Structure 1
Amino acid sequence: MISRFHYPGALPECGELALPDELAHHALRVLRLRDGEALILFDGRGDEVEARLSVRGKAGFAVLGERRRVNRESPLQVVLVQALAASDKMDWVIQKAVELGVSAIQPVQAERSVLRLSAERAEKRLAHWRQVAVAACEQSGRNRIPEVRALQGLGKWLAAHRDGSCHVLAPGGEVGFTDLARLPGPIHVLVGPEGGWTDSELAACDGAGCRRVTLGPRVLRTETAGLAALAVLQARWGDF
């Protein structure tokens, strides 16, 4: 496979482009690409450009070739509202959700979230999560980068939520995704933390018009549940 890289800016129509230091380091030192090898640059807004790597000392340049607009986005708009999970589980969820075609990811603080972030740490984690999304686009061929939104409390998100349908994953939920009719607009899928939603959180979701949905008789981990839901939705109404 040809290596793909996100270029953080507008891509010129033609000519030669100096690669940013971080991108050049990844291409030359991590992937060990050689002078003259093919690569693809994409701008995160839909365009990608075929290019050839030109190496001069420690610097890398891209000789730009054909530019094209390739749409690999799902026709389904799914927003994954993921309760904070501990360790590297959030990285895993974001990476795989991007591969599965999610349109946006909204981290939320839940009552039973093991991970607790101060404002400063939340900003650092947000920057890291956004880079995880970029890397997942590079790997999966997506030319548009899904938005990873700033962390919010669940209550605040529910109070502001007005756009599209809302489904909260809950063991013993009233219906499964295969029982639902397709509704217009974005589909929001709410996934609880390791300890699950509390009764008060589920009541708040009910009050905000969210529907409780089950993924079957087995209890799935937080890092599994949202991805399973995305796969089901893509199979029903997306591009699987």
Structure 2
Amino acid sequence: MRNPRIYQDQPLKVGEKVQLNADAFGHTIRVLRLNEGDMVTLFNGQREDDGNYCQYQGELSNVSKKQAEVLLTDRQVVENESPLNIHLGQGISRGDRMDFTLQKSVELGVNTITPLFTERCGVKLSGERLAKKRDQWQKIVISACEQSGRCAVPKVADPISLSDWFSQETSALKLNLHPRAKHSVMTLPQENQRVRLLIGPEGGLSDEEISQANNAGFIDILLGPRILRTETAALTAISALQCRFGDLA
């Protein structure tokens, strides 16, 4: 029997019983069709008092048609976070491209994702629709953590304009993927272990946005001689950065 990993947003402690929230119950009981006595693994995405990220083994109990509990039997420290902290500023793309980018970037170790409104993003969202879309993106991130074994859950920040993102204070190395750049990712100096990575939407950033990025301290970088789609660009850049500064061999 498989032992699925389930995100549960509440304190966890060995010896205690926790009631699965609605999303966890639906996935565990209705989708996976697990039964009383089956084992699951829970995590809450938070550092514990000792500074570690942990997951908890547990046994399903008191399973009914509407709820289920998990008796936590074992705590495991999980140490699979990259030493490189990546904040991805991703131009909002259409359809499933944005979902795919978020999912795979989490699997590759990104820490924060800020969806960005740019001149060419082509997606019009505001108010309640925007809030629902952000919640959907956060659920995609959580699902990627469940699948990839991560216990630290990256945050999907509120979508903002590119200029507002530029104005945020940061000590991170700021990089903009540009097909006509002179610098390669692999030749960058290892200045620190924090990176802000800017990826444009379909159609890329405008010349004016690229100029604004340069004025904000972003370094244009190149991944190769071919122009990549937005989702390919983000994942390739993250992989290259993890090879250069992080934990990908």
TM-score by length of 2: 0.92
Is 2:35–2:63's contact at 8 Å kept on the other side of the alignment? Answer: no
Residue number in structure 1 paired with 2:194: 186
Deviation string, structure 1 residues 133-179 (Cα, Å, up to 9, x no partner):
11110000001101111111001111224331111011111111011
Residue 25 of structure 1 aligns to a residue in which SS?
helix
Say which of 69, 92, 98 aligns to 2:106: 98
* Separation of aligned partners in 1, 2:78 and 2:84: 17
Q: What's 1:28 paired with?
A: 29
Match of 1:218 in 2: 226
Q: Secondary structure at the match of 1:67?
A: strand
Alpha-carbon offset, residue 20 of structure 1: 1.6
Query: Does residue 164 in structure 1 map to residue 165 in structure 2?
Result: no
Corresponding position: 1:233 with 2:241: yes
Q: Structure 1 residue 118: deviation in Å?
A: 1.3
Tell me the equivalent position of 2:50.
Answer: none
Residue 70 of structure 1, CA deviation: 1.4
Mean Cα deviation higher: 35-44 or 155-164: 155-164
Q: 1:53 aligns with which of 48, 56, 60?
A: 60
Q: How far apart are the structure 2 equivalents of 1:64 and 1:162?
A: 39
SS of the residue 2:167 aligns to: helix
Check the 8 A contact 2:57/2:73 in 1, yes or no. yes
> Which whole-Å CA distance do the structure 1 matches of 2:163 and 2:126 have between them?
18
2:62 corresponds to 1:62: no
Alignment of 1:129-208 (within 5 A): 129-208=137-216
Partner amino acid for 1:54? S
Distance 1:123 1:189, change over 3 A: same
**Structure 1 residue matching 2:98: 3-state secondary structure:** helix
Partners of 2:96 and 2:28 in 1: CA distance? 25
Structure-2 separation of matches of 1:17 and 1:206: 50
Structure 1 gaps of 5+ residues are: none
| Aligned-pair identity (%) | 36
Q: Tell me which residue corresponds to 1:107.
A: 115
Cα 1:121–1:163 shift into 2, 3 Å? farther
One-letter code aligned to 2:191: L
Contact kept, 8 Å, 2:108 with 2:239, in 1: the verdict is yes
The aligned counterpart of 1:6 is 7
The 1-side partners of 2:180 and 2:169 are apart by 24
Q: How far apart, in 2, do the equivalents of 1:47 and 1:125 lie?
A: 29
Instruction: State the Cα deviation string for residues 198-232 of structure 1 (Å, max 9, x = none).
Output: 01000001111111111111010001101001111
**Cα pair 1:38 1:50 within 8 Å, conserved:** yes
**TM-score, length of structure 1 as denominator length:** 0.96
Answer whether contact 2:199 2:230 (CA < 8 A) is retained.
yes
> What's 1:39 paired with?
40
Match of 2:84 among 76, 82, 102: 76
Residue 82 of structure 2 contacts residue 246 of structure 2 at CA under 8 Å; is this kept in 1?
A: yes
- Matched AA of 1:73: E
Give unpaired runs (5+ residues) of structure 2. Answer: 47-52
